[in-house]
Amino acid sequence: MNPNIDYCTHTSGGVKSWWRLILPAMYRITSVSITNRIGVPERINNATILIGNNPMNNGNNNSICAVISSIPGGGTRTFNCGGMIGRFVNVYQKSDQLSICELEVYGELVTPSPFFGAVVMGRKVVVVEKKLSWSDAVLYCRDFYWDLLSIRSEEEQVEVGEVLSTASFPLTKHVWLGLRRWLLLLFVLFVLIYFQKSIILLYQLV
């Protein structure tokens, strides 16, 4: 951790300054640690730490983890977030400049709904047991995996049908696919492209 001004970020100033970290997936966040700069440490005073999944207003409409009353110049404080769930971690300042030298997020990857994995034409896919609309399914996929699966050929569709027939949980008559809101009558709710993620919860601002 380096609180020297040369290793810190700062906004350009003005009303409503903010800084945002986008996590690679949904995490249950236990705490956030922030290191303040040595000079003008008061810039961090009364800023709020926000956590959630709402991208509106640059993520500044999400729930509050903590209000930063102050952090000594060059010091570090850890704020307990009590297991809040989200992808966006914001530090929001209603006025003036905002400076941060280092921010660390601690927590664990949120486990999605029951699922099973398979391989379709060389692509790893995941079938998830969850009832969602098409738009909600897209967001769910992007939070936990990568995106809705797009079927590119008749052969691939046959393989998908075979995969769905092996599901270990109760099936419905519909599946959501990444086909511009098209609905394909198959045997389960939706299919997801599986995207392997590494769990990285240490973020340093340079």
Same domain (yes/no): 160, 132: yes
Q: 63 forms bridges with which residues in the sheet?
A: 51
How many folded domains does the chain comprise? 2
Closest CA to 80 of 30, 20, 21, 44: 30
Q: Which residues are CB-contacts of 69 (< 8 A; sequence separation ≥ 6)?
A: 45, 46
The answer, as to whether pTM is greater than 0.85, is no
3-class SS of residue 44: helix
Same domain (yes/no): 105, 145: no
Same domain (yes/no): 16, 95: yes
Higher-scoring residue by pLDDT: 176, 118: 118
Residue 50 dihedral angles phi and psi, to the nearest 5°:
-115, 140
Same domain (yes/no): 94, 182: no
The answer to the question of residue 205 being in a domain is no
Query: Residues 6-25: pLDDT tens digits?
Result: 678 888 866 788 999 998 88
Query: Residues 90-117: pLDDT tens digits?
Result: 999 987 789 999 999 999 988 766 666 7
